[in-house]
């Protein structure tokens, strides 16, 4: 939200053949659940419907040997959600891949940016 | 088409802030134009409508300092399309980034794959 308009980012999508994929959306959702302790709140943050957020978590939970997200009981709100150990591991691996990618591709990225058309300042 | 069902791939998407992005779709389309010498044929190969392929090329051509794709005159088919020098350069940089990413993230990728649920062999 406080993102620089000119900020260049590289996003990655890991496709495990027919076994599923993980990309920016699922990673950000896991991140949100970790921060907010709730699937609904994490989805809302991303402008994602409750149904869609649950579907993505269902897909992720079925994709790996162990679930990535677990429901937590109790609390006034009737229980939330949290990342499991596997969930934290998968998210950390994905974020590490993003970092490595940004570093590995830094030279090409600079060259690509230099080829972009200049946009006159708006406002 | 001859892709292994279990093959794991990492795809990248470079987002230049508000100035546009290039991802697997645009890169594959440039690739197809280079091989086929025609925007329509390249789009068809990807199951993309003629309109959509033209839109993507229009976006790319406006995004960079110089067009990436140029129309070629003549020939029985009424002229085709080819990559410009800038087009080749952008595509090569993108492909290099993909390669660097795969190398840089190889360790994490192995670990992620090891966390996937085993799928019983079908057929």
Q: Does the CB of A5 have a partner CB in chain B at under 8 Å?
A: yes
What does each C-alpha distance from A51 to A12, A34, A60, A77 come to in angstroms? 24, 19, 14, 18
Among A51-65, B6-20, B84-98, the range scoring the smallest mean pLDDT is: B6-20
What does each C-alpha distance from A34 to A37, B12, B90, B112 come to in angstroms? 6, 25, 38, 19
Give the residue from B9, B16, B59 with the most A CB atoms within 10 Å of its CB, the best one to mutate: B16
List the structure tokens of A86. 């596997």
Helix H or strand E segment including A48: none
Q: How confident is the model at residue A1 (pLDDT cuts 50, 70, 90)?
A: very low
Among A9-13, A27-31, A71-75, A104-108, the range scoring the smallest mean pLDDT is: A71-75
Q: What is the pTM of this model?
A: 0.80
- Residues 7-26 of chain B with CB under 8 A from chain A are 7-20, 22
CB-closest option in B63, B111, B119 to A116: B63
| Cβ pair A36, A45 in contact under 8 A | yes
- Look at B112 and A100 and tell me if their CB atoms are within 8 Å: no
Tens digit of each residue's pLDDT (9 = 90 or more) over B86-111: 999 999 999 999 988 888 889 999 99
For residue A122, the model assigns a pLDDT of 55
Which candidate, B13, B120, B119, places its Cα nearest to that of A20?
B119
Tens digit of each residue's pLDDT (9 = 90 or more) over A19-34: 999 999 999 999 999 9
| Structural domains of chain B, with CATH | 11-115 (1.10.10.10)
For residue A74, the model assigns a pLDDT of 60
């Amino acid at each position: 939200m406080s993102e620089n308009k000119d900020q260049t980012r590289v996003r990655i999508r890991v496709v495990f053949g027919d076994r599923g994929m993980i990309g920016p959306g699922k990673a950000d959702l896991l991140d949100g659940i970790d921060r907010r302790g709730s699937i609904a709140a994490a989805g809302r943050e991303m402008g994602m419907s409750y149904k869609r957020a649950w579907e993505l978590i269902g897909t992720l939970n079925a994709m790996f040997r162990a679930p990535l997200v677990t429901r937590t009981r109790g609390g006034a709100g009737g229980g939330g959600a949290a990342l499991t150990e596997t969930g934290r591991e998968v998210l950390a691996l994905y974020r590490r891949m993003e970092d490595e990618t940004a570093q590995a591709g830094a030279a090409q990225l600079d060259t690509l940016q230099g080829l972009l058309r200049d946009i006159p300042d708006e406002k």
